[in-house]
Every structure is written in structure tokens, then in C-alpha cells.
Amino acid sequence: MKNDYSYHDKVDINNSLKLRELINVLPPFAFEFFRGIEPTTSSRTRIAYAYDLRIFFDYILSFHDDFKEKALKDMIVDDLMIISPTDIEKYIEYLSYYYKDEKEHKNKERGKARKVASLRTFYNYFYKKQKISGNPALLVDLPKIHDKNITRLEIDEVARLLDEVESGDQLTTSQKKFHKHTRDRDLALLTVLLGTGIRVSECVGLDINDIDFDVNGIRIVRKGGNEVIIYFGDEVRESLLTYLEIRNKVIPATGHENALFLSLQNKRLSVRSVQNLVKKYSKVVTKLKNISPHKLRSTYGTNLYRETGDIYLVADVLGHKDVNTTKRHYAQIEDERRRSAAKVIKLRN
């Protein structure tokens, strides 16, 4: 019996099943937290919280003297107040390097900060519900995160990247065998990423009927589940039309009939496949930059900001809920603009 679930419905269902598994290895009271934040968070965000909390409680049961004899299933919400800020500071140090399931794990500042932020949210939920008397995680400083330069492609690198997708001249012999079958798909996909700034998850979720050539727009589902229309230019239009001539002749695998971008197995492309595809072509163009689909998104944001100077427009098109996120990402360009402005004014001829 055929179901009518969309790609995004299937992702949410799979994420819900994964979250259920993760909650089962957390203290029983954690279920209340995840039920409480469900209306305001995406399934992916809740999964990230669950992973972070599992690491925290694994650490507490292994290294905190008051919990070494206690089973996870016997923990109650009051136990959260036994854990002190010092305990959390030791946990942060533990995150630098630890073993789990016979695998080595390391966290840099950004990873540590995210896990502490998850812990703050967890404590804060029960504090607001008046089930605990404080939030010791708030008394711990977040690890200092050093700002990184935005990695992106320059204009000439974008042109060379797309040229390489078209020609495939510098690919390996084995890659060239596949290239003749995937060239138009790859060119359309990369042109969409570079020409719209959408996320890789939004791109692989595109269906054929999400494209409207009358207005040059595509309908995407943002991380929070909201549908929005993103508009594209002539280059994106031409690459999509060329690809669709081929795509419409393909018989997709069952369950993938509506997918826009198909693999050689005629199934919807996965996020990992697109990541590998971007890496394959970008390595030919630049040896020093580690280019991912997210870096193509940064490339689009940079170009849009340089052309318009409108940070609010960039934030809106990229789907940033907080414009300050956009400002942080493009502060470097803002500094360049301020420097160029200083050179415009001449006090003496």
C-alpha cells in the first residue's frame, strides 16, 4: 500500500524513532524535558540535545562519587541539584578526550560549548517548572570560542568549479566514467546551492513539483518546518531545465518518484552523497580550502552581501532567525566595507 509521506515527513518519523531510542538511555525524568520542548524545537535539535545529555549522564554515573552505585533508571530530578558547578567544570575537561564504546572522542571549544549550552537548557527547563532550585550550569563559563575566518569560494573559483563540473577534465579515470552520467545533475545541483544559498538538507528534500519556472522560485522546508519560496536567477533556471530533460526520462525507484535529484540507483540523493560530490569537484579547484555544501552557502551569502550591503536581506534569504547570527558570520566583510568607506572621503585634493 502506497503512503503519501513526503521526504520531510519521513525524516521527522525517522528522527522521532531515533529520539525514542536515545531517551531510553537517559534518566526517566528526561522524557518530560523532551515533551516540553517539542513545540518549539525541531526533531534534529532534540536529537542533538539527547546525544549531549547521554554523554553527560554517562560521565556523572562513572565519575561522580554520589552516583557510582546508582542506576540510571533510579535517578530523579532532585539529583540534578547534587551536581555542582565544579562537577560540570570537570565534565568540560573530560570532554577534551575520552573513550566510549571503545572509540576515541575529542571535543574542541565549539563542541564543549554546545554541550554545556544543552545542559543549561536542560536545567533551565526544570528550574522554570520549579522542580529544582537553581541552575548550576549557568555558573560555569562557556569555553571561549575563537572566531574563524569564513571559508568560501572567490568569484573565479566558483567559475572554475562550475567549468570543471561541465568538463570533468581533471577528474580521475574512474570518476570520469560516472561523470558522463551525472554531469547535468551535478551541474544543476551545485548551481542551485551556489545560486540560492539553501542548506544541503533543503536541497536533497526538493521534489520536482517544488519548482515553479513561471516565477523562477523553489519551495523549500526550513529547519523549523516552515515552507518558504526562494527565488533563483537565469543560470539556475537554465541548469535545472537542462537537467529536467534527462530527469523526466528516468524511472525512479519506488518511494522516490517525486525526488528532484536522483542517484545512479534512481533514488533520492542523500546529504552524504551531496557532501562527497561537493568535495570531489572542489578538490580540483582549490587544494587549501576544505569546501563543503555549507561553504557554498557561505559563498552565496558573501556574494549577496557584497552586492546589496543589506544584512537583513541576507539573513532573510539564508533563513537565519536572528540577524545577529548573520552579522557574526559576515563581520569580516563589514570591516572591509568600513575600510573602503574610509578611503572614499578626501579632505584635500
pLDDT at 144: 81
Q: Which domains does the chain have, with CATH numbers?
A: 11-139 (no CATH), 155-342 (1.10.443.10)
Which cell goes with 137? 550550569
Tell me the pLDDT tens digit for each residue of 79-102. 999 999 999 999 999 999 887 766
Closest CA to 232 of 248, 214, 247, 244: 214
Q: How far is residue 143 from each of residues 48, 95, 114, 211, 328, measured CA to CA in Å?
A: 19, 11, 9, 43, 18
The model's pLDDT over 277-321, given as tens digits with 9 standing for 90+, comes to: 999 999 999 988 999 999 999 999 989 988 888 888 988 998 888
Specify the pLDDT at position 338. Answer: 64
In this predicted model, what pLDDT tens digit does every residue of 182-219 receive, in sequence order? 999 999 999 999 999 999 999 999 999 999 999 999 99
pLDDT of residue 179: 94
**3 state SS of 60:** helix
pTM of this prediction exceeds 0.85: no
> Per-residue pLDDT for 15 more than 60?
yes
Kindly state the average pLDDT of the residues 238-263.
Answer: 96
Q: How far, in Å, are 18, 26, 101, 116, 120 from residue 51 at the CA level? A: 11, 10, 14, 12, 14
pLDDT digits (tens, 9 = 90+) for 124-178: 999 999 999 999 999 998 888 776 677 889 999 999 999 999 999 999 999 999 9
